[in-house]
Amino acid sequence: MPTRILTPEYVNGIFKGLKISPEPKAEPAHGLTPPALNKSIQYKRCMLQLRSKGDRPLEKYIFLSSLKQYDEEMFYAILMANMPEICPLIYTPTVGDACLNFSHIYRKPEGLYVSIEDKGSIKNVLRVWPHKDKARITVVTDGSRILGLGDLGVNGMPISIGKLSLYIAGAGFKPESTLPICLDLGTNNAKNLDDPLYLGLRRKRVDDKEMDEFMDEFMHAMAEVFPNILVQFEDFSTDHAFHYLERYQNTAKVPVFNDDIQGTGAVVLSGFVNAAKLSSEASGRDLTDHRVLFLGAGSAGVGVAKQVMSFFTLQGLSEEEAKSRIWFIDSQGMITADRPKLQAHKIYFARKDYSGPPLKNLLDIIDYVKPTALVGLSTMRGAFTKEAVEKMAELNPRPIIFPLSNPVSLSECEFKDAIEWTDGKVIFASGSPFLPYTYKGKEYYPGQGNNMYVFPGIGFGGVLSKCKHVTPSMVENASLALAESLTQEERDMGLIYPKLTRVREVSMQIAARVIHVAQEEHVDRNAPLRHMDDEHLLEFARKRSWYPRVPSS
């Protein structure tokens, strides 16, 4: 008798009795599979084959990718039951390797490629997607800033695919409602252009004017071909990330958000809310007196800082006072308003209250700012040196250190080092996962400050509410819902983010809050939901959430 290997209860413990929704795929006819093969054995065989690849994560990625194409439900069953093990394989850090090698490991179509050569007929390209009427969520990248790895061109496709796998596992989007898109506008990466196997257009990126024309046509076509879709922009280079968010967030006919700016902002605000409380408990410092120093002023850094400002405004500070709690360092040093030719997105946070000689060195800047929190979104591996982290520990009984750059090879510091250099006092979250670390007989758990904790819930709430736009308040409330989702057990463990194994339930809480705020702001279009209170919205989100079919016992 086959054993029950995965049930919603098993995955989450609280979804008893809910209908499991997928449309059954035809099983191979009797006689085409060995007699004893069943889902339970298949699950075990898949896990065995996966683990037999040992310490070769890219091979594991390729195996999982093939499994997804061959037996999608088994792939999601395995992912959902083993999130901490599988997430780093289909997402950061391994997805970074998959992107670097995409043109070499590519096997089958898994999304749409829309290139600059399609300009004028983009709609026709979008129409080839087989599940047009089912598409609800898309992740669109132009491959120009993939994680911290730079311009990878069409090799950026795995990031769209990986994020959408998390929409499915994390929030319960039906697989056929997801649409990965990679825009090929050329690449300035010489390595790609010189690679005879590179699968993108062999040309340099187009200029801004041509890109604007292309993007306008693309967004227009998206709304026509996929009228019910929500668009997540992902890993556009910083200037374009800000530009297209601004251009479309209130004007496009489909809702839009930028994950690197808004999703990252939300996840870091959430971690910061919990971290600041822990830090202030140790120091006695008022929450309004935290001082946050950012290393890296790209789309992620500036997006996060704007969201972290609401930590202060929610405590009653004015916008100016909140801004005064934030300092930035980029590749030229501390960002001050007197610096010539400052990029537009850096102007808002440029300090006007410093007039000494330019400060370039992190240690000098820490001495000057006396931060309570150090946040890295710089793509600079090891930038948080021993001296810098020790200095943070001298200034604070519990320093907040968030090295958030991805993939793990670009992290500003490692968890183990942060623990040792602060004698276990650090409050830590990184962009990519680290393992727990035992120090002086005590086990410490790292937080993962990655937008994967919020984008599934933001997207699910947005789609269920049929929102016209994704508003800043929907994003901010997603962040607060995440911060509030910690259980007592997680707080007792010193965590600032929930355990990854709970991501589905946490996404439901985020989705319900997002729907509520969409209603408050009158951007929702799903009228029947307006009669539901928060508890019913949560129940509604859970009921709409997809699970892979359960092998019957």
Cα(164)–Cα(110) distance, rounded to whole angstroms? 11
In degrees and rounded to multiples of 5, residue 511 shows phi and psi of -60, -45
Q: How far is the CB of 141 from Mg ion (least distance, A)?
A: 8
260 is an interface residue for ligand CC(=O)C(=O)O by CB under 6 A: yes
CB 93 within 8 A of CB 140: no
Question: How big is the chain, counted in residues?
Answer: 553
Residues 106/110/111/112 CA torsion (nearest 10 deg)? 60
CB 325 within 8 A of CB 285: no
Cα(291)–Cα(295) distance, rounded to whole angstroms? 13
151 is an interface residue for ligand CC(=O)C(=O)O by CB under 6 A: no
Name the residue type at position 436: P
Q: How far is the CB of 36 from Mg ion (least distance, A)?
A: 44
5 is an interface residue for ligand NAI by CB under 6 A: no
Among 184, 260, 414, 524, binds Mg ion (CB under 5 A): 260
Among 309, 380, 389, 514, binds ligand NAI (CB under 6 A): 380
Residue 55 assigned as binding residue: no
Mask 143-172, x = binds ligand NAI (CB under 6 A)?
Answer: --x-xx------------------------
Of Mg ion, ligand NAI, ligand CC(=O)C(=O)O, none, which one does residue 135 interact with (CB within 5 to 8 Å by kind)? none
Q: How far is the CB of 17 from Mg ion (least distance, A)?
A: 37
CB 444 within 8 A of CB 419: yes
Q: How many helices (H) and strands (E) does the chain have?
A: 24, 14
Q: Max Cα separation, the chain?
A: 80
Q: Which of the ranges 81-89, 103-111, 173-181, 377-385 carries the binding residues for ligand NAI, by CB under 6 A?
A: 377-385
Q: Which of 39, 60, 163, 466 is catalytic?
A: 163
Chain centre distance of CA 290: 25
Residue 390 assigned as binding residue: no
Mask 303-342, x = binds ligand NAI (CB under 6 A)?
Answer: --------------------------xxx-----------
Q: Which of 469, 460, 474, 464 is CA-nearest to residue 527?
A: 464
Q: Which of the ranges 227-235, 266-274, 332-340, 480-488 carries the binding residues for Mg ion, by CB under 5 A?
A: 227-235
| Residue 129, burial from CB neighbour count under 10 angstroms (0-12, 13-18, 19+) | middle
259 is an interface residue for ligand CC(=O)C(=O)O by CB under 6 A: yes
Among 298, 371, 399, 498, binds ligand NAI (CB under 6 A): 298
Closest to ligand NAI by CB, 238 or 477 = 238
Residue 163 falls in the annotated catalytic set: yes
DSSP line for 50-64: HHTTTT-HHHHHHHH
Cα(374)–Cα(397) distance, rounded to whole angstroms? 14
Q: Which of 43, 61, 76, 91 is catalytic?
A: 91
141 is an interface residue for ligand NAI by CB under 6 A: no
Cα(509)–Cα(382) distance, rounded to whole angstroms? 35
412 is an interface residue for Mg ion by CB under 5 A: no
Cα(411)–Cα(461) distance, rounded to whole angstroms? 31
Strands 437-439 and 442-444, bridge-based pairing: antiparallel
Q: How far is the CB of 13 from ligand NAI (least distance, A)?
A: 27
Closest to ligand NAI by CB, 279 or 378 = 378
List strand residue ranges (DSSP E) for 202-342, in order: 230-234, 256-258, 292-295, 326-330, 333-334
Q: So which residues are the catalytic ones? A: 91, 163
Binding-site residues for (S)-malate, in ranges, read 145, 406, 450
Q: Which residues bind ligand NAI (CB under 6 A)?
A: 145, 147-148, 238, 260, 264, 267, 295-301, 329-331, 377-380, 404-406, 410, 431, 449-451
Q: Which residues bind ligand CC(=O)C(=O)O (CB under 6 A)?
A: 92, 147, 235, 259-260, 406, 431, 450-451
